[in-house]
Structure 1
Amino acid sequence: METITGVPASTIPAWAVLQRRLFDDIEDAWRLFAARYTHEDGGVRFPAVFTDRDGVDDLYEPFFNWPAFYLLGGSDEVLAAAKRHWNGVTAQLTAAGMLTDEYENGYDWFHQGESLLFFYGICAADPGDPHFAARARRFAELYTDPAAGNYDPEHNIVRAPHNGALGPRPGLNDVVQPYSADLAEMERYGLPLEYVDGIERWSDLADPARARAMGEAMQRAATGDVVVNLAATSLVANRWLYDGDPASADWIERYVGGWAQRARANGGLVPDSVAPDGTVGGLHDGRWFGGHYGWTWPHGLPSVGMATVVSGLNAALVTGDDAHLDTARAVLDAVLAEAIVAPVADTPYSLRGGWLARLGKDAEKPGMLVPHRFGRDGWFDYAPMPLELPTWLWWWSRGDADRERLRIVRDGLPATDEPVKPFRDKAEAGHEAPWLDFLDGRLPDYPELALSMALGQVARRVAMIDADDSDPSTVHLHFWQRVNPVVTEVLTQLVSGAPQVLYNGGLPFAAVEYEDADRGRPGLPADVAALVTVLDRDRIELQLVNVSPRHARRVVVRPSRFGRARLTAVGFGTADGADYPGPTTAYAAVAGRQGHALVDTDANGVEVLLPPAHRIDLVLVTAPADAPAHHRGAPAIAQTADSKE
């Protein structure tokens, strides 16, 4: 492996100082959160009692990005805490009857995907942990092993919208529950099923008989496959990443391919449901829409689009064929073809509250809105396209067509005088637009603006924790998500060159990964800041700065995406003739003649030596890997069934 030495930094960039301050503040904040809201065994201070199948995700989600913080350069202690909390929460949920053999009994994959982000993050952060490696294999086999019952190999479908450790579960609840107009918080989403006799509008559900009829219809329709089940491919891809298991890759390719075939038969747009006999729309009188978490109810594009992007990335990962992203591309192109221009504030969009908070006063300005749902009256529910969807397609392919689609969506957002808005939601995302502007050279001060914003978000979460005098056992189930002080979106963008992970079940990809060469662990060493400035198809540019005036640091840098790119050459800045720190009689050090070198390499990374107050500009020249390969460096998963700690 090539070793490159940095050059003296005559000034320490502000972004580097802010980035290292953010690492320090998060370290203090997660400890405060853990001490205030968790038991010694890692469980949440909350009586885990559930009345239906919902709620498993809410106890895992407060910690979803803690392993990601470790991978970026967080302390060893944050990884140990993440494992402790996963084990503690798992024990809580098992005692509550929500898990079997450490896995969810069975629920929809919109929520399972959220639950599993925490698990995927731990697997990526410490692939050598045999307990989590064995879990990865065992959990994946709930879908790849037909004996588990979830997957029907004859029809190439997952057998039910609710599925998991107990196999395909009947309906949406263990008993039929009326769907009443009393569920006021659900009114904004409209009717769950639009073709129930005698029910034409929400107010009809005020009649107990009609509410019962809706509940019974929902229970009957909750069988067979639905499009959000595509997120289960992440569970299988997560297992594949340990040892490149061919059967896992084959399952992903076949299952994703089945939905792609249905999309082609539907004119290119993916349908949302398949009856147990394998027929599209067989439970909805032949209609291609109307399935659970599908095009009509409750969210449409955010769930359908997320599932197709996530599964397309997984299939591309294990096969090396980016054509698996075509189903997701068709979803985005279909709604773009129906776009209108209007202010978000003027639309009745069902999830408009999130956009109003995100856009602030800019919600009054016109922007491009696309339909998020399709029902008996055609396309409806207009809002901005979730920018993370086209961002991830381009980020993976680096293709011109994906970049052009992303440009259209990004340029369609309302104009703003405040490019980096101070907000944060539970997905810890939403700042894709200014990051993309930075990569395009249109917002050069994004790193400073974004890091300053992130520091403010950590400070606000800490202030909320300090001001909280409630009994943790009585708070709302979403409370801990709202005060989680671990902030990783901006660090993920700047350090690893990737968007924030797709929240409904995406795997934690990165463009660049790092290793602390002195400590032999992933992530940036102490005092080192990183900034990815260019992402091209065959080139990544980044800067590294050692902000310490006393300590030298060594860091290994390599292209990532779980091994989908291989390093072919490394370019780096030089300063021939530099004299640092120079004699005490000089008013300034001699900077030296600036130059650039390029070294060919077939190593999997480059080692950078950064003396105190030194920096380096790197160019990683890459080429596609010759074949898909697992990229975790862990031993093959043990074949024993015993995986508990």
Structure 2
Amino acid sequence: MSSEPTGPAGPAVARPRLTASVPCLAPPPWATSQRALFELLDQGWRRFSEAYCNPDGSLRYEQELSSRDGADDFMEAFFNWPQLYLLGGADDLLPAAARHWHGVAGQLTRLGMYRDEFEIGYDWFHQGESLLFFYFLTMADPQAWQQRAARFADLYLDPACGNYDPERRIIKAPHNGSGGAREGVSDSPSYPWTEAEAAQYGYPLDWLIDPMAPVPPLAEDPRLGEQMQQRLGRGDAVGNLSVAGLVLNAFLATGEHRFADWLGEYVGAWKKRAEANDGLIPDNVGLDGVVGSQLEGRWYGGHYGWSWPHGMYSLAQAALVGAMSAALARRDDSFLDMPRALLDAVIAQGRQGRFADSDSSIAPRWRAHLGDAIDTDTLLVPYRHSDKGWFDYNPVQASVPLALWHHSDDAADRARLDGLRAASGYDWASVRPFRDKEEAGHEEPWYAYLAGDNPDYPEQILAAAQIQARRRLALLETHAGRELAEADIHLWQNVNPVVTEALVQLTWGGPQVVYNGGTQQARVRYFDRSANGGVRPGLPQDVAALVSSIEPLATTVTLINLSGTQARALTVQAGALAEHEITTVTATHSCAEWTGRDSEYLPHEPVVQSSDVDVAGPWLDVDLPPGTQITLRLAMRLRAYPPSYRSPA
């Protein structure tokens, strides 16, 4: 093990270089399974592209789109492809992903959904989902995408674009984009709500009709017609907090402080509204800047808010995206008090009961997640609120409190997670091979692994990922060549064979990205230095990584070069955005005499020791000779540097 002196963080400063010397004689199952998953996913994206896409990268779709909805479904099919590249996917995956983005953006322009490469105007529950693809492309190649990132963010910073009112600190409509604030919630006089959706979610503005009165036809229902367009189709909505992810993306790509200033201003305004409402973030603000002014004083009932359709499921993610974006850009974790207070207020309304008996509006999602535990008493919290009080009881979606803890490493955030685990009637160590919309959902068993009482988790989650990827490949082949109708365009994301949650958790030590437009979290990331002296994001070929511990001030990761003949080299980065400092590293090493003499029948037992090396920066270089491994305990100072998409030189 060798090292070089280091100084303050910066791409031109020398940094330590460690050489692995501990032999990996019998590669652990998690390492071989991890590399097998990389190989399978590489086969998967190539087959999807071949079966479902045109040469320009667009999707094979010959129909029109009849409403404002649908653009997100085109982009979501590829959202985690550049994320896979960042993890260590194939070299040609990045240009392939860029080709698909440009092809689909052009396709959506022809379909009347995009203008200047950006959605004309739709809600941010959906725009946040579709923009993950763009955010990961920017993260993977910031030079290529930074001008576009700034241009998109300026749609909200520049009042002349028609979206933002800087005096009242509001976005002027729930539907917004390159066409400015887009009044109404549909292009038709009546919102296109179906009988099935009404049965599942109920109606917005449910107080407009006496509950004893006959239900009018959908096209004549004031809750879906003019009243909805006027009351819910103008003014700010809580879902717009996901715009913060777009603005943070521009800040990370450019470093321009005007983006950070806007985040502090806009998210700060929502934080104050939440504080004035006893910690429960309201879901609507009128054009006059007053909460409830379009809903006769109600803090609930806004578009994609507390009453309709998803409640906590969508607005908690929006609040988290907003708060974490502002906290990162402004380097001020007090913004996180907004989602903390939201969680604590809703958890306080919880009750014990069987999920099988709940009034959940999203029961299929939780039945897949819980399995047999639907019949066990567990903590259920209300996701929605209206004039009738709290309703729609579900388990707490663990991704939100886990993301808070992962960012802060705060004892209170960890205590909240531990309290939720104790109140759950289901086993947090159980791994089920389900798929959910967020390409996530295994936060509980991962957290149990990090807590030290789920040791088999790496092998189990990698097996679950194999099952899901192979299932989707089979579905992909079943539907290949099928001409899709507009109602069926969710097929693309449902058969996307790229599954990344397991790789994010195990290699980066981070949760899967918050699906409604979040920014990737990680304790460590990697840059491949193996080829021609250059550097690209991701693990090198043949290298497996496992983050086994995330302590308040340290992270432990093991790196293994599975190749028996090829050396690999990489840089370890502290944080997804080089925002943390590695103060020191404790690294394993061994003497070279383990092979023994050629006339002996057995190798000698390697003697493994550890040594400390000072780092004082966000990056550390590691050389991995063939068949070697190294375990690094990285002592860290969290958020020591401004976050950025910069990469090591």
TM-score computed with the length of structure 2 as normaliser: 0.94
| Aligned partner letter, 1:492 | V
Secondary structure of 2:404's counterpart equals helix
Aligned to 1:600: 614
Q: CA deviation at 1:371?
A: 0.5
Gaps of 5+ in 2: 1-14
Asked whether the 8 Å contact 1:37–1:472 carries over to 2, the reply is no
Selected match of 2:205 from 193, 198, 205: 193
The answer to whether the aligner puts 1:374 opposite 2:388 as a matched pair is: no
1:406 aligns with 2:417: yes
User: Does 2:28 correspond to 1:13?
Assistant: yes
For 1:634 and 1:612, the matched residues in 2 are separated by 24
Q: 1:397 to 1:207 in 2, by over 3 A?
A: closer
Shift of 1:629: 4.3
Secondary structure at 2:207 match in 1: coil
Distance 1:574 1:140, change over 3 A: same
Asked whether the 8 Å contact 2:173–2:183 carries over to 1, the reply is yes
Are residue 248 (structure 1) and residue 259 (structure 2) matched?
A: yes
Which is worse superposed, 107-116 or 421-430? 421-430
1:218 matches 2:228:
yes
Partner of 1:453: 464
SS of residue matched to 1:360: helix
Q: Is the 8 A contact 2:512 2:521 kept in 1?
A: no
- Equivalent residue runs for 1:477-556 within 5 Å: 477-519=489-531, 520-556=535-571
Alignment check: 8 A CA contact 1:582 1:590 kept: yes
State the AA in 1 paired with 2:372: K
2:48 is the alignment partner of 1:33: yes
Residues 194 and 212 (structure 1 numbering): CA distance in 2 closer, same or farther, change over 3 Å?
closer
For 1:178 and 1:458, locate their aligned partners in 2 and report how far apart those are by CA, in whole Å.
36
SS in 1 for 2:570: strand
Partner amino acid, structure 2, of 1:477 = I
Determine whether 1:623 maps to 2:634: no
Question: How many Å separate the matches in 2 of 1:208 and 1:84?
Answer: 41
Task: Work out whether 1:155 is the aligned partner of 2:165.
Answer: no
The answer to whether the 8 Å contact 1:514/1:524 transfers is yes
Task: Quote the residue 2:187 is aligned against.
Answer: 174
1:284 matched to which residue of 2? Answer: 295
Amino acid at match of 1:622: M
**Deviation digits for residues 122-152 of structure 1, max 9, x if unmatched?**
00111121xx221101000000111111000
CA distance in structure 2 between the aligned counterparts of 1:359 and 1:564, rounded to whole angstroms: 36
Whether contact under 8 Å (1:533, 1:542) holds in the other structure is yes
Q: How has the CA–CA distance of structure 1 residues 48 and 498 changed in structure 2, closer, same or farther, with 3 Å as cutoff? A: farther
Return the alpha-carbon distance in structure 1 between the equivalents of residues 253 and 77 of structure 2. Answer: 26
Counting only pairs closer than 5 Å after superposition, residues 326-475 of structure 1 correspond to structure 2 as 326-416=337-427, 419-468=430-479, 471-474=482-485
Report the equivalent of 2:6.
none
Identity among equivalent pairs (%): 44
Q: Label 1:201 to 1:367 Cα distance change in 2 as closer, same or farther (>3 A).
A: farther
- Aligned 8 A contact 1:179 1:212 in 2: no
Q: How does 1:303-322 map to 2 (within 5 A)?
A: 303-322=314-333
- Seen in structure 2, the aligned counterparts of structure 1 residues 228 and 178 have a Cα distance that, compared at 3 Å, is closer
Aligned equivalents of 2:600 and 2:172: distance in 1? Answer: 76
- Is 2:219–2:225's contact at 8 Å kept on the other side of the alignment? no
1:613 deviation in Å? 1.2
Q: For 2:94, which of 79, 89, 99 is the aligned residue?
A: 79
CA contact (8 A) 1:63 1:118 kept: yes
Alpha-carbon distance in 2 for matches of 1:448, 1:629: 32
Residue-by-residue CA offset, 1:553-596 (whole Å, 9 max, x unaligned): 11111201313211211111122x34243322223322333211
| CA contact 1:308–1:328 (8 Å) conserved in 2 | yes
Matched position secondary structure for 2:143: coil
Deviation at 1:470, TM superposition (A): 5.1
Q: How far apart are the structure 1 equivalents of 2:214 and 2:476?
A: 40
SS of equivalent residue, structure 1 residue 551: coil
Match of 2:57 in 1: 42
CA 1:60–1:202 in structure 2 vs 1: closer, same or farther (change >3 Å)?
Answer: farther
Q: Distance in 2 between matches of 1:179 and 1:98?
A: 17
Q: Which runs of 5+ in 1 are unaligned?
A: 636-645
Structure 1 stretch displaced more, 115-124 or 511-520:
511-520
Q: Measure the CA separation in 2 of the matches of 1:479 and 1:513.
A: 32
RMSD over aligned CA atoms reads 1.8
Query: Higher mean Cα deviation, 591-600 or 264-273?
Result: 591-600
> Which residue of structure 1 lines up, in the alignment, with residue 11 of structure 2?
none
CA distance in 2, matches of 1:14, 1:626: 35
The residue that corresponds to 2:4 in the other structure is none
**Cα-to-partner distance string for 1:388-419 (whole Å, 9 max, x where unaligned):** 00000000000000001111223333324971
- Code of the residue aligned with 1:68 in structure 2: it is Q
Deviations along 1:369-403, whole A, 9 cap, x unmatched? Answer: 00001110111110001110000000000000000
For residues 593 and 463 of structure 2, what CA distance do their matches in structure 1 show?
34
SS in 1 for 2:595: coil
* Inter-partner Cα distance in structure 2 for 1:202 and 1:62: 43
Query: Which has the larger displacement, 229-238 or 184-193?
Result: 184-193
The TM-score, its normalising length taken from structure 1, stands at 0.94
State the secondary structure of the residue aligned to 1:370.
strand
The one-letter code matched in structure 1 to 2:489 is: L
Deviations 1:229-252 (A, max 9, x none): 010011110000022211110000
Aligned residue type for 1:155: R
One-letter identity of the residue aligned with 1:495: T
CA distance in 1, matches of 2:445, 2:527: 28
Partner of 1:641: none
Tell whether 2:278 aligns with 1:273: no
SS at match of 1:501: coil
Partner of 1:643: none
Q: What code does the residue aligned with 2:342 have?
A: V
How far apart are the structure 2 equivalents of 1:216 and 1:544? Answer: 60
Q: Quick one: structure 1 residues 363 and 80, their matched pair in 2 at CA, closer, same or farther if it must change by over 3 Å?
A: same
How many residue pairs align between the two structures? 629
Task: Check the 8 A contact 2:190/2:219 in 1, yes or no.
Answer: no
Q: Aligned partners of 1:626 and 1:493: how far apart in 2?
A: 23
Is this contact kept in 2: 1:199–1:205, CA < 8 A? no
Shift of 1:88: 0.8
Question: Which amino acid is the alignment partner of residue 492 of structure 2?
Answer: W
- Cα deviations across residues 500-526 of structure 1 (Å, max 9, x unaligned)? 110011012221110111231110000
